[in-house]
Chain A
Amino acid sequence: MRVPFAGFSAARLREFAPALVLAALVVLLAVSTPGFGTPETLLVVLADTATLFVLGVGLTFVILIGGIDLSIQAVASLSSVVVAMLVPRLGYAAFPAALGAGLLCGLFSGIAHVKLHVPSFIATLAASGVAGGIALLVSGARAVTIGEAGRAYLQWVAGSVLGIPAIILLGAMVLVAGMLVQRYTPFGRYGLAIGAGEAAALASGVRVDRHKMAALAVSGVLASLAGIFLAARMASGSPMLANQLMLPAVAAVLVGGTAITGGVGGVGRTLIGALIVSVVRIGMTFLGVNIFAQQILFGAVLIVAVALTIDRSKIPIVK
């Protein structure tokens, strides 16, 4: 979103803060850990970030309109199970199937939220239950490995192109598509308007209900794309595969600068946020902090990020 240059103000600083933080972290890590600054390591970082980023993009669209999607990890897991189970039998057709599953989950949340007036966090929490339950049922509550034959079909994600992991290229495509949609399409414009002023958008004839449904559907599809990425990297699918990804995804969106109150932020910011989360995770692993302890940090970071970016004038009564 274009904000006119108004000189050096606190708001301007806040806008660039995430990028500055990322730069600082990278420099810090490169200086303190040998081997971090090499191209190989950077590619690994980017590859690790790709899944988180794709997950975050869908979430960004939902948070931009002032909602939240708590179903992303369940949908990603379900998608990985779908891929694992269908690739041996259907080959490439397994992928549209997985995306379709994500779309259905998104529509489920959308209908509950828009038609039944259920708050988005409950609607998506419920969708998470439904998706998780189906994933458990279909997989028998265990990981499903993808055999040799199946793995061939995953090469478009797991392989490399000219030395660059395909997953990074796919992530970049999502980034570009996301930014284009956000900036140049009615979907992007309406999302911004609804998030920044839902009452005014409604009174201007924007079909708010339709948009909200679409945003949740997109989130579902992108979550399932992330699930496909995970399946490819792990060469397996499991109903628990995306556990532990919810918090980093939310952190990526919020730390990147998209406000939980909506109307401010975007896909580009989520990229920076995702990179920050990745770099912090790598840094902590280098320091020997185990993954669960990292959660404490992320929990605190989340709260701080929200405290800083939230627009309190939009919510007179905080619940």
Chain B
Amino acid sequence: MLQTIQLSKSFGGLPALRDVDIEIRPHEVVGLVGENGAGKSTLMKILAGVQQPTSGSLRRDGVPFVVHNPREAAALGIGMVFQEQSLLPNISVAENLFLGREAEFTRFGLMNWRRLHAAARRELQRVGLDIDPGRRTAELSFAARQMVELAKALSLEERVRGELVILLDEPTSVLERAEIERLFARVQDLRNRASFVFVSHRLDEVLALSDRVYVLKDGSVVATLPAAEANVTQLHRLMVGRALNAEYYMESDQAPYAPEVVLQARGLGVVGAYRDVNFELHRGEVLAIAGVIGSGREELVRSIFGFLPHTEGELRVNGLAVRLATPADAVAQGIGYVPRERRTEGLVTLLSVAQNITLANLDSVLHGVRIDYGQERTLAEDWVKRLHIRTAGVDMPCGSLSGGNQQKVVLAKWLTARSRILILDHPTRGLDVGAKEEVYRLVRALCRDGLSVVMTADTLEETIGLAHTILVMRDGNVTAVFDAVPGAKPVQLDLIEHMV
């Protein structure tokens, strides 16, 4: 009934989906599972009209179609309940339910609130929500808003004839037991009118609700199986695949770390994000943090760099308790940050290579208050040579460099700032294989020189391959700590068990 044929999507040359063939038949619930970055969200967004595919086609009942926005998708009976909520907090529930459809509720050009609210109440009843539709959406709990989103997607029922396709993107991650059951009951009730695509990292739920399951890995469909015949372990294995050659991560270069503790966390927490995190980072160690979205690992990393000051517990740098209120505080403590968003947070793309390299430590080229351009150039050229940065010159704007070379400039910046602790946030995102290799080599070299690294990686493979120690997080807590000594590294299955 809904089909994708050879669907592919690339972001800036990097593939997120490769030749994906998926079929959603009438009256079925299809589960979609995969690691972070496997392409689940991208696939859903294309189906819902939020993004356009780079190539491939979509078919509805055999007829090819193209949608440019969710409204057009809705006209075809495809609705989505988003992971990041798409409700406007400042208007009423009723207005959110019928956003874009106000014209259906006007009389002589004026809004007929009674009719709108009555219609809204009907939709809300469908998901068992008994609230006043005139209430401001911001006043509802997160869970209630999720149900309103579901009601909104289900309201397609009234507008579109024929079968609906409802896409559920991680709908249960913030719901309580009772609400999840209510959601599942609704889904069952609506089977005769709609098919569902259910994305979740909670594999047990996916298996409980779905008829069939697709497994995505690295943007491709690696398996499709009936839910009745599958189990969680099997899915895990399919999601992560075989382990790669250990030397890809230069594990033989992984030297043991020194006993000296450079960074220590005790009971660290940020209300609403993560709690009770404890770790000790040693000189020369790579500490990797694994977890899915919502696990709290992103926030933890932001806290260590001063973007998100911790509200509980304490953080000690070289034994001294610190409070990092801004990134500048973190930099002053010798912490550097190689961000995920290279082009917005890592580099000022309009400025030159040399200007970016000195940005975190202008003092290195200052004589009093005067910037010595000659010295700056020499410094930059030195780094270009040492890190093999490919650029036409240190005066070139950073925006003209390739991703891998940009990453090296960011590293050069922190080395110029003499950071002793480096935070690597998805350091190989958007890089090709050769560039990734260079990054791994650099990480090993940095550790040998006595730097310490806190890392969140894109894939579990990378996490395991590069790390000395792995912290696994889920729902804001640390659920496991693994030692990752070369030759005795944990397997991905071990990690996933504690992540999802």
- Residues of chain A touching chain B, judged by Cβ–Cβ distance below 8 Å, are 2-4, 183-186, 189-190, 192-193, 196-197, 199-207, 209, 263-264
Q: How far is the CA of A192 from the CA of B362 in the complex (A)?
A: 13
A205 and B360 contact, Cβ closer than 8 Å, known pairs A199-B344, A200-B347: yes
Across chains A and B, which 5 residue pairs bring their CB atoms closest together, nearest first? A205-B331, A197-B348, A196-B350, A203-B345, A204-B359
In this complex, what residue of B is CB-closest to A209?
Answer: B326
Within 8 Å of chain A (Cβ to Cβ): is B417? yes
Within 8 Å of chain A (Cβ to Cβ): is B322? no
Most A CB contacts (10 A, CB to CB) among B327, B331, B395 go to B327
Q: Report whether A201 and B348 are in contact in the complex, using a CB–CB cutoff of 8 Å.
A: yes
Chain A contacts for B241, CB-based, 8 A = none
Q: How far is the CA of A300 from the CA of B395 in the complex (A)?
A: 37
Q: Report whether B395 and A4 are in contact in the complex, using a CB–CB cutoff of 8 Å.
A: yes
Q: Report whether A3 and B397 are in contact in the complex, using a CB–CB cutoff of 8 Å.
A: yes
Chain B contacts for A2, CB-based, 8 A = 352, 395
Chain B contacts for A200, CB-based, 8 A = 344-348, 359
Q: How far is the CA of A7 from the CA of B344 in the complex (A)?
A: 27
Question: Which of B331, B346, B396, B413 lies in contact with A4, CB distance below 8 A?
Answer: B396
Q: How far is the CA of A184 from the CA of B413 in the complex (A)?
A: 19
Question: Which of B348, B349, B369, B417 lies in contact with A205, CB distance below 8 A?
Answer: B417
Q: Report whether A196 and B352 are in contact in the complex, using a CB–CB cutoff of 8 Å.
A: no
Question: Which of A4, A189, A207, A264 lies in contact with B355, CB distance below 8 A?
Answer: A189
Q: How far is the CA of A200 from the CA of B305 in the complex (A)?
A: 13
Q: Report whether B360 and A186 are in contact in the complex, using a CB–CB cutoff of 8 Å.
A: no
In the complex, per-residue mask of B311-326: 1 if CB is within 8 Å of any chain A CB, else 0: 0000000000000001
Q: How far is the CA of A199 from the CA of B341 in the complex (A)?
A: 10
Chain A contacts for B331, CB-based, 8 A = 204-205
Instruction: Supply 19 further A-B pairs (C-beta < 8 A) apart from A186-B366, A196-B348, A200-B346.
Output: A2-B395, A4-B393, A4-B395, A186-B362, A189-B371, A190-B362, A193-B348, A193-B359, A197-B348, A197-B351, A199-B345, A201-B359, A202-B327, A203-B305, A203-B307, A203-B339, A205-B330, A205-B417, A206-B359
Would you give 25 A-B contacts (Cβ < 8 Å), ordered by A?
A: A4-B392, A4-B396, A4-B397, A183-B371, A184-B369, A184-B370, A184-B371, A189-B355, A192-B355, A196-B350, A197-B351, A200-B359, A201-B359, A202-B326, A202-B327, A203-B305, A203-B327, A203-B337, A203-B339, A204-B327, A205-B328, A205-B332, A207-B326, A207-B328, A263-B348
Chain A contacts for B359, CB-based, 8 A = 189, 193, 200-201, 204, 206
Chain B contacts for A264, CB-based, 8 A = 350
Chain B contacts for A206, CB-based, 8 A = 328, 359
Question: Which of A184, A192, A207 lies in contact with B351, CB distance below 8 A?
Answer: A192
Chain A contacts for B350, CB-based, 8 A = 196-197, 263-264
Q: Report whether B396 and A197 are in contact in the complex, using a CB–CB cutoff of 8 Å.
A: no
Q: How far is the CA of A190 from the CA of B360 in the complex (A)?
A: 10
Q: Report whether B393 and A185 are in contact in the complex, using a CB–CB cutoff of 8 Å.
A: no
Q: Report whether B346 and A203 are in contact in the complex, using a CB–CB cutoff of 8 Å.
A: yes
Chain B contacts for A186, CB-based, 8 A = 362, 366, 369, 371
Q: How far is the CA of A74 from the CA of B76 in the complex (A)?
A: 58
Chain A contacts for B327, CB-based, 8 A = 202-205
Q: How far is the CA of A183 from the CA of B417 in the complex (A)?
A: 21
Q: How far is the CA of A2 from the CA of B362 in the complex (A)?
A: 18
Chain A contacts for B392, CB-based, 8 A = 4
Which chain B residues numbered 282 to 311 have a C-beta less than 8 Å away from chain A? 305, 307
Q: How far is the CA of A202 from the CA of B332 in the complex (A)?
A: 13
In this complex, what residue of B is CB-closest to A264?
Answer: B350
Q: Report whether B362 and A189 are in contact in the complex, using a CB–CB cutoff of 8 Å.
A: yes
In this complex, what residue of A is CB-closest to B344?
Answer: A199
Chain A contacts for B393, CB-based, 8 A = 4
Chain B contacts for A185, CB-based, 8 A = 369-371
Q: Report whether B349 and A197 are in contact in the complex, using a CB–CB cutoff of 8 Å.
A: yes
Q: How far is the CA of A309 from the CA of B347 in the complex (A)?
A: 22
Chain A contacts for B396, CB-based, 8 A = 4
Closest chain A CB from B443 CB (angstroms): 20
Closest chain B CB from A277 CB (angstroms): 27
Closest chain A CB from B396 CB (angstroms): 6
Closest chain B CB from A276 CB (angstroms): 25
Closest chain B CB from A70 CB (angstroms): 26
Closest chain A CB from B169 CB (angstroms): 23
Chain B contacts for A205, CB-based, 8 A = 327-328, 330-332, 360, 417
Chain A contacts for B339, CB-based, 8 A = 203
Q: How far is the CA of A158 from the CA of B326 in the complex (A)?
A: 47
Q: How far is the CA of A206 from the CA of B351 in the complex (A)?
A: 15
Closest chain B CB from A72 CB (angstroms): 26
In this complex, what residue of A is CB-closest to B366?
Answer: A186
Chain A contacts for B395, CB-based, 8 A = 2, 4
In this complex, what residue of B is CB-closest to A202?
Answer: B327
Chain A contacts for B355, CB-based, 8 A = 189, 192-193
Q: How far is the CA of A190 from the CA of B356 in the complex (A)?
A: 11
Most B CB contacts (10 A, CB to CB) among A196, A199, A201, A203 go to A203
Q: Report whether A204 and B371 are in contact in the complex, using a CB–CB cutoff of 8 Å.
A: no
Most B CB contacts (10 A, CB to CB) among A3, A185, A197, A204 go to A204
Closest chain A CB from B412 CB (angstroms): 12
Q: How far is the CA of A207 from the CA of B350 in the complex (A)?
A: 19
Chain A contacts for B370, CB-based, 8 A = 184-185
Chain A contacts for B417, CB-based, 8 A = 205
In the complex, per-residue mask of B36-62: 1 if CB is within 8 Å of any chain A CB, else 0: 000000000000000000000000000
Chain A contacts for B345, CB-based, 8 A = 199-200, 202-203
A193 and B351 contact, Cβ closer than 8 Å, known pairs A203-B327, A205-B331, A207-B328: yes
In the complex, per-residue mask of B394-419: 1 if CB is within 8 Å of any chain A CB, else 0: 01110000000000000001000100
Chain B contacts for A183, CB-based, 8 A = 371
Chain A contacts for B371, CB-based, 8 A = 183-186, 189
Closest chain A CB from B475 CB (angstroms): 27
Closest chain A CB from B328 CB (angstroms): 5
Chain B contacts for A192, CB-based, 8 A = 351, 355
Closest chain A CB from B378 CB (angstroms): 16
Which chain B residues numbered 170 to 185 have a C-beta less than 8 Å away from chain A? none
Q: How far is the CA of A2 from the CA of B396 in the complex (A)?
A: 9
In this complex, what residue of B is CB-closest to A181?
Answer: B369
Chain A contacts for B397, CB-based, 8 A = 3-4
Question: Which of A184, A197, A202, A207 lies in contact with B347, CB distance below 8 A?
Answer: A197
Q: How far is the CA of A265 from the CA of B58 in the complex (A)?
A: 47
Chain B contacts for A201, CB-based, 8 A = 348, 359
In this complex, what residue of A is CB-closest to B359?
Answer: A204
Chain B contacts for A202, CB-based, 8 A = 326-327, 345
Which chain B residues numbered 350 to 386 have a C-beta less than 8 Å away from chain A? 350-352, 355, 359-360, 362, 366, 369-371
Closest chain B CB from A115 CB (angstroms): 13
Q: How far is the CA of A189 from the CA of B371 in the complex (A)?
A: 9
Q: How far is the CA of A200 from the CA of B348 in the complex (A)?
A: 6
Closest chain B CB from A271 CB (angstroms): 22
Most B CB contacts (10 A, CB to CB) among A183, A199, A209 go to A199
In this complex, what residue of A is CB-closest to B329?
Answer: A205
Most A CB contacts (10 A, CB to CB) among B305, B348, B393, B396 go to B348
Q: How far is the CA of A68 from the CA of B68 in the complex (A)?
A: 37
Closest chain B CB from A120 CB (angstroms): 20
Q: How far is the CA of A290 from the CA of B349 in the complex (A)?
A: 45
Q: How far is the CA of A304 from the CA of B370 in the complex (A)?
A: 37
